[in-house]
Amino acid sequence: MYPYYGLDWTYLLVLLGLALTLGAQGYLKMMFARYSKVQSGTGLTGREVAERILRSNGIYDVTVHPVAGQLTDHYDPAKKTVNLSEVIYNSTSIAAVGVAAHECGHAIQDDLSYAPLRFRHAFVPLANIGSKLSMPMIIIGVMLGESRNLLGPQLINLGLLAFSLAVIFQLITLPVEFNASRRALIQLRELNILPPREESQARSVLIAAALTYVAGAASSVIQLLRLWILFGGRKRK
C-alpha cells in the first residue's frame, strides 16, 4: 500500500461506505418519522391494507402477522406470512400503508414465481457462507503468507471469492426490492387505497427504503474493492 502521512489510504473507502450507509439510514428514519405522523384518508391500518391487497390478487394462503421491533417488516416465503412491525400493523399512517403494501409486493412476486425473487432465495445459503467464512479465510491466509506458507495466497483468494458471494446477493436484492415497491404503488392506486397526493407521500417512504439497499450494496462493493486492493495481488513467495 501507499500510505499518506503514515495512513492507509484505503481507509477512505471504509469511510465512504460508512457515510453512504449512515446517510441512507438517516434519510429513511427521517422520512418514516415524517409520514408516520400523516394519517391516510381511508383510515385503513397496515394489516387491513395488506389483507386487501392479498385478497384482491387472489392470494389466500398468505397471512398477516405482527412482529416485535421497528422496521422489522418482511415477507417470509417459507411460512407464507407478511410480517409487519407493531407500529405498521396497527397504524393508519401513510408510512404504514406504504410499508404494508411493499411487503405484499413480495407476496405477489412469490405468487407469480418472479424469477429474481426465486434466484435470491436460492442464493441465500451461498451468501451466508460467504459472509461468515470470507474474513476468517483472508486473515488466516495473511498469517500463513507471512510465514511463507504456500497455502496462504490460496486461502486469501478463496476468502475474496467468498466475500464476492455476499456482494452478489446484495446486488441481486436491488431489482427485487425495486419491483416490490413498484407493485405496491400500483396496488395502492388501482385499489383506491390512497389518492394521488397520499400515493406520492407513500412513494417518498418507499424510495427512502430503497436507498438503504442501494447504499448497502454500494458499501459492500467498496469493501470488496478494498480487500482486493489490500490482498488480491498477493502471490506465492
Query: Annotated active-site positions, please?
Result: 103
Q: Which of 13, 42, 5, 3 is nearest to 225 (CA)?
A: 13
Classified as helix, coil or strand, 234 is coil
164 neighbors 189 (Cβ within 8 angstroms) = no
As a residue count, the chain comes to 237
Cell numbers representing residue 237 in the block: 513467495
Sequence letter at residue 140: I
Helices (H) then strands (E): counts for the chain: 7, 3
Residue with cell 451468501: 127
Gap between the Cα atoms of 106 and 202, Å rounded:
17
**167-177: burial string, b at 16+ Cβ within 10 Å, e else:** bbbbebbeebb
